[in-house]
Structure 1
Amino acid sequence: MSTSLPDKPRSLLRRYLVAGYAVFIIYASLTPFTGWEEQGLEFWAVLTSPLGLTYTGFDALSNLLAYFPFGLLLALTFRTYFGNAASVLLATLAAVSLSVAMEYLQMYLPMRTSSNADILSNSCGSLCGGLLAVSIKRRAWFVRVTQWRIGLFRQGNGVDFGLALVMLWMFAQINPSLPMLGNVFITEPAYRMFIASPPEPFSPWESLAVALNLLMVGTLLLTLLRTRRHVAVGLMLMLGIVALVKFIAAALLLKSWALLLWLNSEAILGIVIGLLLITGAAWLPPPRLIWATALAALSYVILANWVLDSGTPSAAMRLYHWHFGHLRNYNGLSHTVSLVFPLLLGGYLWWARASYKQERE
C-alpha cells in the first residue's frame, strides 16, 4: 500500500544526514590524514588491475554495508525532486563519485591501499540502498512515521539540524570500548579487576562527564519537542537503544572478559545525576534552557579536553578479539564525534535562540 505526504515545507533533515555521512566516509577513508606522498602509482592502473587481487569477503561486505546507508539517504533526498529511476541513478552516481575520489586520494597515503574492488563494492552498496529508498518512500508506514515526526517536534529554524545532532550523539555512544555515555577509552589494564589486583580508583570526574553528556542531549531534546513531558520517554528510548546496540557490539567485537566493562559504576552514577539535572532543566523557560544547555556543553568540553585523559583510540584495540583497521577508524571517528558534538550543539543553540526571539515577536 502506498500513499503520499501532505504539502509541507521540505525537511532539511535528510540533507544534513547525507552531509554528515559523507564526512564519515571521508574520515574513515583518509584517516590518519598524515604521510601524504607520491608513490608512483597510476590511477588507471588501479582501476584496471585484476579484481580481488588482495581482497577478502570481509572487505567486500564491509565496503558494501558502509555505502548502503549513503545510497539510501541520497535516494530519499533526490526522490523529493525526481522520479524513482532518476533518484536511484543520481544517488548511485554521487556515491560512486565519492568512492572514486577516496580511492584516488588513498594512492597518496602509504598506510592505505587503493582498490577497484572497493569501488565495485561501494557501488553495489549504494545501488542497493537507493533501490530500498524508492521502494519505501511512498509506503503507508513510512508516511505515518514521517507525519509522526512532524507532529512530535517543533517547527522552526534549526530543528532538523538539532534532530541530526541527536542521531550523531547516538552514533558516538554505541562504541563498546567507551563506557556508557563516557569519553574515556577502556584499556586492557581494566582486566586486573578479574584477578588478585587492587581495583582502579573510582573517578568522580568521569561520572560528571557522563552526567554532562546526558544533560547536553536531554536539554537538546527539550528544545526540540513540542511537549516537554515527552522528553522522559525519548531519553529512556535513546538510552535503551544505545545500551542494546552497545551490548551487541561488545558481544560481537570484544574479548569475553571485556563484555560488560562499558557499564561501570562511574557511568551508572553519572546517568542518575544527569537524569536529575534534566528533570530540573525541564522547568526552565526557553531562553534560560538554551543558556543551561550552552553551559553544559562548555563544561563538557573543558572536562573532556583539559581534565580527563581519554587515551588514544588505538589503546582500546586490545579489548577487541579481531583487529581490522576498520575498528581503529571507527574508534577514532566516534571519539572525534564525541568531542565535536558540543561545538555543533553550540551552533544549533545560536539558531534556536534566534527562533525563540522570532516567536516572541
Structure 2
Amino acid sequence: MMLSSHNSTPRSHVALHASLINAALIVFLSLYPFSGWTDNGLPLFDFLFYPLPYYTRFFDDLVNLLFYVPYGFSLALIRAPRWLGWCLALLLATLTSVAMETCQQFLPLRVASNLDVIYNVAGAAVGATLATFPLMARVWQQCQQLRRYLFVGDSSADYALLLIGLWFMTQLNPAIPLFGMVIFPEGLPQPYVSPLSDAQLFLSLIEGGSAMLNLAGSLLFLTCFLRQRQHQVRAVLYFLLTVVVLKLITAGALLKPALFFQWVNLNVVYGLLCGLLLVWAVTRGQRWPQTIFALLCLLLSQVVVSFWPLSVFQPDVLSLFRWRYGHLLNMSALVALITDLWPVGAFTCLILSVRRQLNH
C-alpha cells in the first residue's frame, strides 16, 4: 500500500487512491461488525480529555500504530512541497482517528480511547516522515529507478504494485491455506449435497484448484507488468518467498503450536505445483497472453470458490487460534473483505493494461 513517488502527476493519483483504500480499511477495522449501535448518552468528545488508561495491551497499541503508517505515507504523497504533504497527512489522519473513536462510542463492543488516537497519529507521523523526510529522498529515488527498470512505464503498473501489496494481506490468515481461498474442510454443513458422489473428493478438488488458480492468477498478474522476460524468475521467487514468510510469521504468532502447519497440505501442494507449471508455460509467451491468462485464472478462481460450502467464521476454525475471539473476528473479516474485493481491482487494472497494449 506504499508508494514511491513525489512529483509525477500519474503517481499523485495513485497516492490519492492508496489513501482512500487505507481509509476504507481503517473504517472497516474500526467499526466492524457495524451492528448494535446505541447512544450511551455521553458527550461526544469527552473521551479525548480522559486520563490516559493505566492498563494497555501491547498488541492493540502496536496495531493502532502500524495500521496508520501506510495511511500517513500515502497521504503525504498527495501534495507537494514535502512540508505541506506532511502537515496534510497529520491533519487528515488525526481527523480520521478522532472520527473513528467517536463512532466507537456508539458500538457496545468498542471503547473510545484517547490513547488510540495518540498511537494512530504517531503511526501516521511515522509514515508521513518516511515519505517526505529529506534523508529518505535518495531511497525513494532508487525505488523509482528500480520501478522504471523492472516494470512497464504506464500507470497501470503503479496500480498493479498497489494491488500486489494489498494481495499479500489476503494471506495473513493462517487458517486459510497457502495461496488458498478457502478454509480446510474440518467438517461439512448438514445437509450437504455434493456435485460428486464423493463429497470429500469434491472438496479436495476445490481446495487444490483454488490454490492453483490463485497462485497462477497472482503470479501472472505480477509478470504481465514486468518490462523484460529475464526478470520473471527472480520476481516469482521473491513473490513466493514473501508469501511463505508471511504464512510462517502469522502461523507462529496466531495459531496454536501444534497447528503451526495448518496452512498447507497435500491437496494444496499438488495445486501449487500445477499452478507453477501453468505459469511457466504462459510466461514463455509475450505480455498480452500473460494478461489474458491472468484474467482467466482470476475469473475461474472466483467460480471455483463459489462452490465451497464452508464459512471462514465457523467455530472449529476459530478454535485453531490462540488469539482473543474479538481480534480473530476483526482480522478474519478484514482478510475476507480484501479477498472479495481484490479481484475487482485486479480485473480493472488488467483491462486497463490490455487497452494500453492494444493502443500501442
Question: What's 1:238 paired with?
Answer: 239
Please tell me the residue identity of whatever aligns with 2:82: G
Whole-Å separation in 1 of the counterparts to 2:69 and 2:162: 19
Question: What's 2:313 paired with?
Answer: 313
Unpaired runs of 5+ residues, structure 2, are 188-199
How far did 1:326 drift? 3.1
CA contact 2:69–2:124 (8 Å) conserved in 1? yes
Whole-Å separation in 1 of the counterparts to 2:159 and 2:274: 27
Deviations 1:28-72 (A, max 9, x none): 011112233433332122223332167444433331222233223
Whole-Å separation in 1 of the counterparts to 2:327 and 2:204: 31
Please tell me the residue identity of whatever aligns with 1:129: G
CA contact 1:304–1:310 (8 Å) conserved in 2? no
Question: What's 1:254 paired with?
Answer: 255
CA contact 2:45–2:102 (8 Å) conserved in 1? no
CA contact 2:7–2:80 (8 Å) conserved in 1? no
Question: What's 1:127 paired with?
Answer: 125
Change (3 A) 1:7 1:318: closer
Identity across the alignment (%)? 28
Change (3 A) 1:349 1:55: same
Change (3 A) 1:8 1:74: closer
Change (3 A) 1:230 1:28: same
Q: Alignment RMSD, CA only?
A: 2.7
How far did 1:99 drift? 0.7
How far did 1:314 drift? 5.7
Change (3 A) 1:83 1:169: closer
Question: What's 1:63 paired with?
Answer: 64
Within 5 Å, which residues of 2 pair with 1:1-361? 10-11=10-11, 12-52=13-53, 55-75=56-76, 77-78=77-78, 81-84=80-83, 86-135=84-133, 138-186=136-184, 203-305=204-306, 307-313=307-313, 315=315, 316-323=317-324, 325-359=326-360
CA contact 1:314–1:328 (8 Å) conserved in 2? no
Larger displacement relative to structure 2 (137-146 or 158-167): 137-146
CA contact 1:68–1:128 (8 Å) conserved in 2? yes
How far did 1:284 drift? 4.3
Larger displacement relative to structure 2 (130-139 or 163-172): 130-139
Whole-Å separation in 2 of the counterparts to 1:70 and 1:106: 20
How far did 1:213 drift? 0.3
Question: What's 1:192 paired with?
Answer: none
Larger displacement relative to structure 2 (46-55 or 254-263): 46-55
CA contact 2:69–2:127 (8 Å) conserved in 1? yes
How far did 1:10 drift? 4.6
Whole-Å separation in 1 of the counterparts to 2:336 and 2:321: 17
Question: What's 1:193 paired with?
Answer: none
CA contact 1:254–1:321 (8 Å) conserved in 2? yes
Whole-Å separation in 2 of the counterparts to 1:187 and 1:42: 48
Deviations 1:134-190 (A, max 9, x none): 33664434322221111110012422111111111112123222110112235877x
Whole-Å separation in 2 of the counterparts to 1:171 and 1:331: 11
Please state whether the residue corresponding to 1:224 is helix, strand or coil. coil
Deviations 1:332-355 (A, max 9, x none): 111221222222211112211211
TM-score normalised by the chain length of structure 2:
0.85
Deviations 1:272-297 (A, max 9, x none): 11111112222444444433222212
Please tell me the residue identity of whatever aligns with 1:226: R
Please tell me the residue identity of whatever aligns with 1:334: V
TM-score normalised by the chain length of structure 1:
0.85
Deviations 1:272-331 (A, max 9, x none): 1111111222244444443322221221111112x1134233633211222163332121
Please tell me the residue identity of whatever aligns with 1:250: A
Please tell me the residue identity of whatever aligns with 2:171: Q
Question: What's 2:194 paired with?
Answer: none
Unpaired runs of 5+ residues, structure 1, are 190-199
Residues paired across the two proteins, number: 342
How far did 1:73 drift? 3.0
